[in-house]
Amino acid sequence: MRHTRILVTHYGGPDALRVIEEDCPEPKHGEVRVKVLAAGVALPDVMAREGIHPETPEVPFTPGWDLVGRVDQLGEGVTGFEPGQMVAALPIHGAYAEFVCLPHQELIPVPPGLDAAEAVSLGLNYITAYQMLHHSAGVKAGQRALIHGAAGGVGTALLQLGHLAGLEMYGTCSSRGAQAVSDLGGIPIDYQTQDFVKEILRLTGKGVDLVLDPIGGGHLWQSRKALCPGGKVVGYGLISSIRGEGLASSRPGRRQRFRGTALFALYILGGWLLPGRKRVVPYSIQTLKRLKPDLFRQAWITLLGLLQQGKIKPLIARRFPLAEARQAQELLERGGVVGKVVLMMNESPRTS
């Protein structure tokens, strides 16, 4: 049996993505072959293609952090799963494919009847949001939060989960995303025309309790200025710190990762030493998964339950067929995307 997957042939722009057809992988002992239904498209995929993300594999590789699919074949020694069962996983790379073989411990059972695109959005985006709110920040009802990139995949997840937690929310976005931010209970701040620090201080009088910042670099320190005393900035993604000056010239991501880590450490130290008790803390979903797999697993199960109950509903910006992975990444790179971009297997393109 043959299948299709996407390959990054070299570090670079969208032209590095190739569609290939090959024999289906066979599950080894302890593995499950999954027929992928949906794979998420995220900025870490783009940065891995560029060769600058800390999680970048050596080329050639198949990108894709998260997937939802059905169990297709069980390897030897696997119990607890049945063919046809719907499952989810966060392999970090490899999801842009029709079939993937994964260790059975990686798989999360998905309740039947859920939309695969919505379910896959819970992986990278909603787990990140859930963990930052409830573990990194320990939010309480009535607190105020500023969400940067509020109309994006993680941003809209933060707005929905923040609403459930009883937060008063503000979100930076472009004018295109302002309506979505408002619809999800946030007060939009146009980062293109407004100074978010001045606007937060004008709207709140004293600042917010929490800022969620995916940009990194000097932006983290600007975010700290929007805090009230005792507040906290949670930094994740760190796009500007990782991207640095562009394509890596040697080992993928090494130079940018170390520089970003050193700068972040200075901000963490400054948050403790300077007056005001305004802390800066890091969050990394891949670190959570590796060091606390049970906590990671429980977060996804909790979120799947909220989706099944209709308490959250991921915004799907666009669904692309697998063969249009390049176009999906190009859309994401252009910016202004509201919600999650998803690759759907054996589907024609459509908006959602």
Give the integer Cα–Cα distance in Å for 340 and 349. 14
Residue identified by tokens 């995220």 is 42
Verdict on whether the full-model pTM lies above 0.85: yes
Nearest to 52 by CA among 237, 247, 284: 247
Same domain, residue pair 100 and 151: no
Block means of pLDDT (10 residues each) for the chain, 352 residues, are: 96 97 97 98 94 92 98 96 97 97 97 96 96 96 97 96 98 95 97 96 97 90 94 84 43 46 57 69 91 94 97 96 98 91 73 44
pLDDT value at residue 218: 83
Same domain, residue pair 35 and 71: yes
Same domain, residue pair 145 and 268: yes
Same domain, residue pair 172 and 238: yes
Who contacts 50 (Cβ-Cβ below 8 Å, separation ≥6)? Answer: 11, 12, 13, 243, 246, 247, 248
Same domain, residue pair 275 and 131: yes
Query: H/E element holding 180?
Result: helix 178-183
Query: H/E element holding 203?
Result: helix 196-204
Same domain, residue pair 280 and 292: no
pLDDT value at residue 243: 52
Look at residue 24 and give its three-state secondary structure: coil
Of the residues 246, 262, 284, which one is the last residue of a structural domain?
284
Nearest to 69 by CA among 108, 126, 22, 27: 108
Same domain, residue pair 133 and 263: yes
Same domain, residue pair 224 and 102: no
| 174: phi then psi, degrees, rounded to nearest 5 | -80, 170
Of the residues 284, 305, 335, which one is the last residue of a structural domain?
284
Who contacts 161 (Cβ-Cβ below 8 Å, separation ≥6)? Answer: 126, 129, 130, 133, 312
Same domain, residue pair 205 and 144: yes
Same domain, residue pair 165 and 298: no
Give the integer Cα–Cα distance in Å for 219 and 241. 10
Same domain, residue pair 19 and 98: yes
Nearest to 110 by CA among 163, 42, 34, 41: 34
**Roughly what angle, to the nearest 10 degrees, separates helices 43-50 and 325-334?**
100
Same domain, residue pair 270 and 152: yes
Domain count, the chain: 2
CATH of residue 280 = 3.40.50.720
Nearest to 234 by CA among 208, 206, 201, 200: 208
Of the residues 264, 284, 304, which one is the last residue of a structural domain?
284
CATH of residue 42 = 3.90.180.10
Look at residue 284 and give its three-state secondary structure: coil
Please give the structure tokens belonging to residue 37: 């239904």
Expressed as residue numbers, the domain containing 73 is: 2-120+288-351
